[in-house]
Amino acid sequence: MTFEDVVRFHGHVCPGLALGYRISELVLREFGPRSEDEELVAIVENNSCAVDAIQVMTGCTFGKGNLIYRDYGKQVYTFVKRPSGKALRIAVKWTPPAETEEEKEMWKRYAEGERSEEVLKAVHNRKAKKTEAIMNAADSELFEVKTTEIELPREARIHPSVSCAICGEKVMETRTRLKNGKTVCIPCAER
């Protein structure tokens, strides 16, 4: 897989995608080829652009059950090899190059919703500089890596689907709720 493959999947080039690509390269060097099934598990602690690169590069996906999302908002990624339980915990430590006052102002305007040609050009140039810096940095500049062993997450399980008694939509049996004696999906149970 190349960075261009990751960009095609994600839709654009950005620093987060570059970090995910570099993390994935490190993991694949350590654990071997891309996961075809569940032999590699990724536990990600954010839902950033980096996770798209991790899915493409490592083969860890929500659909296969070997991508586990923990909503901690941290730039931390743990990869576990089955069946050994050997794990790598990768924390991003990279600090981007300092921004100029003009770049800070342009980012502020962008964050406030301005999409003028001037602002977009400045934001894209800044992202391009950060992306290039990430792609050219040594792993030791980007990440703190710890080898560890963790308890293996359960393998993905397939559960039967049933129809919600209210909306009629299919729902995984284990995610149903009882409401007035009827088996319903979570959204219908919460209404």
Residues 80-90: tens digit of each pLDDT = 999 888 999 99
- Per-residue pLDDT, 166: 96
Quick one: what percent of the chain has pLDDT higher than 70? 100
7-21 mean pLDDT:
97
Q: From start to end of the chain, where are the E strands?
A: 40-44, 67-69, 76-81, 86-92, 143-149, 161-163, 170-172, 177-179, 182-184
Sole residue written with tokens 């654990």: 31
Ranking 57-66, 101-110, 146-155 by mean pLDDT, the lowest is 146-155
> Hey, what domains does the chain have and what are their CATH numbers?
3-94+137-149 (3.30.1330.130), 161-190 (3.30.60.20)
- Per-residue pLDDT, 123: 95
